[in-house]
Amino acid sequence: MVDRPGLIVPEITERYGVSPDTVRTVWARHPEWPGPAGKRGRYKEYDAQAVADFVRKHIERQAVELEPRRLYTAQQLEDAGIGIKAGTIRADLTRGRWPEPDDAEHGVKRWYGQTAMTAMTSRRSYRRNREG
How much is the pLDDT for 69? 97
How much is the pLDDT for 62? 65
Give the end of a domain, one of 19, 42, 59. Answer: 59
The residue ranges of the chain whose pLDDT is under 70 are 1-4, 61-63, 124-132
Task: Please indicate, yes or no, whether residues 50 and 73 belong to a single structural domain of this protein.
Answer: no
Q: Burial of 23 by CB count in 10 Å (0-12 exposed, 13-18 middle, 19+ buried)? A: buried
Task: Please indicate, yes or no, whether residues 68 and 122 belong to a single structural domain of this protein.
Answer: yes
How much is the pLDDT for 88? 94
How much is the pLDDT for 82? 87
Task: Please indicate, yes or no, whether residues 32 and 82 belong to a single structural domain of this protein.
Answer: no
Q: pTM of the prediction?
A: 0.56
Per-chain mean pLDDT for the chain: 87
Give the end of a domain, one of 14, 31, 59. Answer: 59
Task: Look up residue 66 and give its amino acid.
Answer: L
